[in-house]
Amino acid sequence: KAGVTQTPRYLIKTRGQQVTLSCSPISGHRSVSWYQQTPGQGLQFLFEYFSETQRNKGNFPGRFSGRQFSNSRSEMNVSTLELGDSALYLCASSPQGEGIVTDTQYFGPGTRLTVL
């Protein structure tokens, strides 16, 4: 099976702009989670989608949003970009659909976002 794919792999934006990142899960996986990874804060959970509904969320401001489509593909949007949003954004999918408490996460290669 093909792994989790993310597009684009690299992105450069300026402050105040918005950005949309895309994630295609492993075939058959219905849960998609998003994470932000920075050198200072490490890997932080943004939110999880299952069956087109946001099922769980972390402690990020409302500028960070997402959605999931009927084919399980997911997008993440960040509005009004700030310099501190520069990070590696990772998407992960999981097969069981039971939630992040017990499911194994299979990570994609990530999108490197740089905000100037």
How far apart are CB 15 and other proteins at their closest, in Å? 26
Contact 25, 32 (CB under 8 A): yes
- CA-CA-CA-CA torsion for 2, 98, 23, 45, nearest 10 degrees? -130
Give the range of 11-19, 21-29, 71-79, 102-110 binding other proteins by CB under 8 A.
102-110
Residue with structure tokens 């990874």?
37
Give the range of 12-20, 22-30, 52-60, 68-76 binding other proteins by CB under 8 A.
52-60
Q: Determine the size of the site formed for other proteins (CB under 8 A).
A: 23
**Binding of residue 66 to other proteins (CB under 8 A):** no
